[in-house]
Amino acid sequence: MITFEHVTKQYADGTVAIEDVSFTVEEGTTTVLVGPSGCGKTTTMKLVNRLEDPTEGTVYRDGTPLSEFDRIDLRRNTGYVIQEIGLFDHMTVGENIATVPRLNGWDEDEIDARIDELLELMDLPPESYREQHPPELSGGQRQRVGVARALASDPDVLLMDEPFGALDPITRESLQDEFLKIQAELDTTILFVTHSIDEALKMGDRIAIFDVGEVVQYDTPQAILDEPKNEFVEDFIGSDRPLKKLKVTQVEDVMSPPTEEVATAGGVADATAPVQSDGGSTVSPLEPTDTALSALSRLVASEDGRLPVVEDGDVVGTVSDEDIRRSNAGDKP
């Protein structure tokens, strides 16, 4: 758990990077810091592993003020993917990942095994990537190595400063998806910086929206979309707020109970069979964990006004555009 309590950071040159910031990151959750350039996101991250110290206020780790930790120990126990990644080009990918375990004095055998494990996790087969040097890798691969390096000694806290920032949209999307899967397997407390509200909504359990130097709203993605605190947040989310809401809403939250006809014999088999879409490609049936947006997009493409929702071969509900519309208006069905 990380707690910021009335934290202000003023740099030596007088710049006040953040002022009176308070929030708490719960154990094992992901909090995304999002806001325009120069609003103090990186500074906030640096305060967590004492690359900077606050001018006023206190940052706590599990209730203990950071000033009571040894800087070096603290940093070796905190994974940090810095904004520029900063891989060591003169070392191999394996040596890069081994950095913190080596500093922590692990056995070489343990380190070897860990390198392979992380490369597998990051979808970079060790046989081909372990001995490469970072300049030989693509941008996306470098980002993965940066994340692997930060995870190497299994830190309690992971700081990621725009880890997917410099990537093309497709690579970015796939890395986000992969990271969401990895994140589900870790019980790490994650602070994630981005300046894209879409990425924040996708990655965060909670989101802290920064305006210059201050946190304007700190809430779950749903709550931020339902009730933007002020005009700044509203502008930041953009005019397509309804669509963004559909992206963070799951089908199971909007669906209606199964109707008679689909629930009766024969209907189930029909509904669970792969649907032939107009393009002729096969689309698997809607699942409760799909986003409302993908449900809507299928509804638009389909001739039926109501689609079955299938879980493990059983129809658990149906969804129509009315269901979706109702949820988007904010009323609970």
Partner 1 sequence: MLSSVHNWLAYVDFAVEHSDRLLVATLEHIEIIAFAIAIAVPIGVGLGFLITFDDRLATAVIWLAGVMMTVPSIALFGLLIPYFGIGAPSVIVALVLYTQLPVIRNTYVGLNDVDPAALEAGEAMGMTRLQLLRRVQLPIALPVIMAGVRNAVVILIGIATIGAFIGAGGLGDLLFDGISYVRTEMIVVTTVILSLLALAVDYAFSISEQLFRLNNGEQVESSATMRLLQRVIS
Ligand X SMILES: Nc1ncnc2c1ncn2[C@@H]1O[C@H](COP(=O)(O)OP(=O)(O)OP(=O)(O)O)[C@@H](O)[C@H]1O
Which residues bind to ligand X, rule: CB under 6 A?
A: 11, 13, 15, 17, 37-43, 83, 195
Which residues within the stretch 80-119 sit at the binding site for Mg ion (CB under 5 A)?
83
The yes or no reply on residue 1 touching partner 1 (CB under 8 A) is: no
The yes or no reply on residue 141 touching Mg ion (CB under 5 A) is: no
Taking the complex as a whole, how short is the minimal distance between the CB of residue 99 and ligand X, in angstroms? Answer: 23
Q: State the Cα–Cα distance between residues 153 and 108, nearest whole angstrom.
A: 13
The yes or no reply on residue 92 touching partner 1 (CB under 8 A) is: yes
- Residue 277 DSSP class: P
Q: State the Cα–Cα distance between residues 207 and 219, nearest whole angstrom.
A: 6
Among 75, 142, 172, 245, binds partner 1 (CB under 8 A): 75
DSSP string, 218-257: EE-HHHHHHS-SSHHHHHHH-TTHHHHHHHHSBHHHHPBP
Taking the complex as a whole, how short is the minimal distance between the CB of residue 157 and ligand X, in angstroms? Answer: 18
Q: State the Cα–Cα distance between residues 205 and 224, nearest whole angstrom.
A: 11
Q: State the Cα–Cα distance between residues 245 and 226, nearest whole angstrom.
A: 8
The yes or no reply on residue 100 touching partner 1 (CB under 8 A) is: yes
Q: Cβ closer to Mg ion: 42 or 49?
A: 42
R_g (Cα) of the chain, nearest Å: 23
- Residue 67 DSSP class: G
Taking the complex as a whole, how short is the minimal distance between the CB of residue 142 and Mg ion, in angstroms? Answer: 18
Q: Can you list the positions of beta strands (E) in 155-211?
A: 157-161, 189-194, 206-211
Single out the segment in contact with partner 1 by CB under 8 A; choices: 31-39, 91-99, 210-218, 257-265.
91-99
Contact 124, 149 (CB under 8 A): no
Among 42, 189, 272, 328, binds Mg ion (CB under 5 A): 42
Q: Cβ closer to Mg ion: 38 or 65?
A: 38
Query: For residue 91, which of 60, 152, 135 has the smallest C-alpha distance?
Result: 135
- Residue 299 DSSP class: H
**Residue 59 binds which one of partner 1, ligand X, Mg ion, none, with CB within 5 to 8 A depending on kind?**
none
Taking the complex as a whole, how short is the minimal distance between the CB of residue 11 and ligand X, in angstroms? Answer: 3
Among 1, 16, 82, 212, binds partner 1 (CB under 8 A): 82
Which residues within the stretch 122-161 sit at the binding site for partner 1 (CB under 8 A)?
133, 135-136, 149
- Residue 258 DSSP class: P
**Residue 143 binds which one of ligand X, partner 1, Mg ion, none, with CB within 5 to 8 A depending on kind?**
none
CA angle centred on 233, ends 44 and 157, rounded to 5°:
30
DSSP string, 135-150: GGS-HHHHHHHHHHHH
Q: Cβ closer to ligand X: 44 or 318?
A: 44
Contact 309, 251 (CB under 8 A): yes
**Residue 13 binds which one of ligand X, Mg ion, partner 1, none, with CB within 5 to 8 A depending on kind?**
ligand X
Taking the complex as a whole, how short is the minimal distance between the CB of residue 80 and Mg ion, in angstroms? Answer: 13
Query: For residue 289, which of 244, 254, 257, 331 has the smallest C-alpha distance?
Result: 254
**Residue 74 binds which one of ligand X, partner 1, Mg ion, none, with CB within 5 to 8 A depending on kind?**
partner 1
Residues that bind partner 1 (CB under 8 A): 49, 51, 71-76, 80, 82, 84-92, 99-100, 103, 133, 135-136, 149
Using CB under 5 A as the criterion, which residues of the chain lie in contact with Mg ion when the complex forms? Answer: 42, 83
